[in-house]
């Protein structure tokens, strides 16, 4: 079994917001074209920490990155290292943190915002820094631009693993709060862009997963153990079978799920069973 596989990470989008605001994803679920489960994030529910959990299949206390201020290269077997060992390819459109974690060096925007190098740890990437982000300027790329970049990489390079990571809901959630109209609206904007993107990827033969790193509470915060921070939605477009719809999934299962779809050996450190098979 070997499927090209895409993972879309919706930064800071909690379960309730996803299922109430993502009309496209929910329409696919309702029509039986996508499976959907609730997924519980590990803690602390912090972005960088969760990126590493999503890609290593390890809880934060096991992988050791426990803060956004602990930015550095991943020290554990992860999706990208497993793909490289198996001779498989990857492409990323996402926050610059992903370059520092898995790209082989600290992020330098003048050298790394675009990468097309077959010898690089991630051969094809488009990163954004969000430098200057604050209440006056979200510094977040437009959703459709991110989707278009990822689709261009898919068309040109047909990577075995395609990662698309969007930060804008997290940014707007921090600014206005997770119960605000601005946050809900931004999640709908992301969903709208996905409605024009995911069908192209499915047409190209990809399995597509949509996940979140963590949610957002009404204060505009995350990091702790509240349901609004930990509960996220996990969607799957593909033919494989998964657990019953009411099953609450473990975020550590994402990495072995991705690798098993691509047909790559799962590192022994990833102990969760794949979600679909
Ligand atoms: Zn955040």
pLDDT in tens, 235-246: 999 999 999 999
Half-sphere exposure of 87 (CA within 13 A, CB side): 1
Model confidence band, residue 18 (pLDDT cutoffs 50, 70, 90): very high
CATH number of the domain where residue 217 is located: 3.40.720.10
User: For residue 131, is it within any domain?
Assistant: yes
User: For residue 268, is it within any domain?
Assistant: no
Distance 245 CA to ligand 1 centre (A): 28
d(CA 109, CA 139): 15
Residue 139 has pLDDT above 90, yes or no: yes
pLDDT at 227: 98
The total domain count for the chain is 1
pLDDT one-digit tens code per residue, 60-85:
999 999 999 999 999 999 999 999 99
pLDDT one-digit tens code per residue, 197-219:
999 999 999 999 999 999 999 99
Angle made by CA atoms 276, 24, 16, in degrees to the nearest 5: 75
Going by C-alpha positions, the residue among 227, 252, 268 that lies closest to residue 16 is 227
Cβ < 5 A residues, ion ligand 1 = 170
Distance 253 CA to ligand 1 centre (A): 22
d(CA 144, CA 232): 22
Q: Which domain holds residue 53?
A: 5-262
User: For residue 25, is it within any domain?
Assistant: yes
Helices (H) and strands (E) in the chain, counts: 13, 9
Residue 272 has pLDDT above 90, yes or no: yes
User: For residue 273, is it within any domain?
Assistant: no
pLDDT above 70 as % of the chain: 100
Average pLDDT of the chain to the nearest whole number: 98
Residue 1 has pLDDT above 80, yes or no: no
Residue 176 structure tokens: 């206005």
User: For residue 277, is it within any domain?
Assistant: no
User: For residue 74, is it within any domain?
Assistant: yes
Q: What is the mean pLDDT of residues 104-133?
A: 97
User: For residue 271, is it within any domain?
Assistant: no
User: For residue 190, is it within any domain?
Assistant: yes
pLDDT one-digit tens code per residue, 143-179:
999 999 999 999 999 999 999 999 999 999 999 999 9
Distance 11 CA to ligand 1 centre (A): 7
């Amino acid at each position: 079994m070997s499927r090209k596989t895409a993972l879309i990470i919706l930064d800071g989008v909690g379960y309730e917001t996803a299922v109430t605001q993502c009309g496209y994803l929910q329409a696919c679920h309702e029509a039986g074209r996508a499976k959907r489960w609730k997924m519980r994030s590990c803690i602390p529910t912090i972005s960088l920490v969760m990126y590493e959990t999503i890609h290593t299949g390890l809880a934060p206390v096991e992988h050791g990155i426990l803060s956004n201020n602990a930015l550095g290269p991943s020290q554990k077997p992860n999706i990208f290292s497993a793909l490289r060992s198996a001779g498989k390819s990857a492409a990323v459109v996402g926050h610059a943190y992903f370059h520092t974690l898995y790209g082989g060096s600290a992020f330098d925007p003048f050298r790394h915002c675009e990468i097309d190098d077959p010898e690089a740890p991630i051969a094809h990437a488009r990163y954004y820094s969000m430098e200057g982000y604050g209440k006056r300027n979200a510094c977040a790329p437009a959703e459709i631009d991110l989707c278009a970049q990822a689709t261009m990489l898919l068309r040109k390079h047909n990577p075995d693993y395609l990662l698309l990571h969007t930060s804008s809901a997290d940014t707007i959630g921090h600014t206005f709060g997770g119960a605000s109209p601005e946050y809900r609206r931004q999640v709908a904007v992301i969903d709208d862009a996905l409605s024009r993107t995911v069908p192209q990827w499915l047409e190209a033969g990809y399995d597509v997963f949509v996940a979140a790193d963590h949610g957002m509470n009404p204060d505009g915060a995350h990091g702790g153990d509240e349901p609004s921070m930990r509960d996220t939605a996990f969607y799957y477009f593909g033919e494989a079978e998964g657990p019953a719809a009411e099953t609450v999934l473990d975020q550590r299962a994402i990495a072995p799920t991705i690798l098993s779809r691509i047909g790559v050996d799962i590192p022994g450190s990833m102990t969760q069973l794949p979600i679909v098979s």
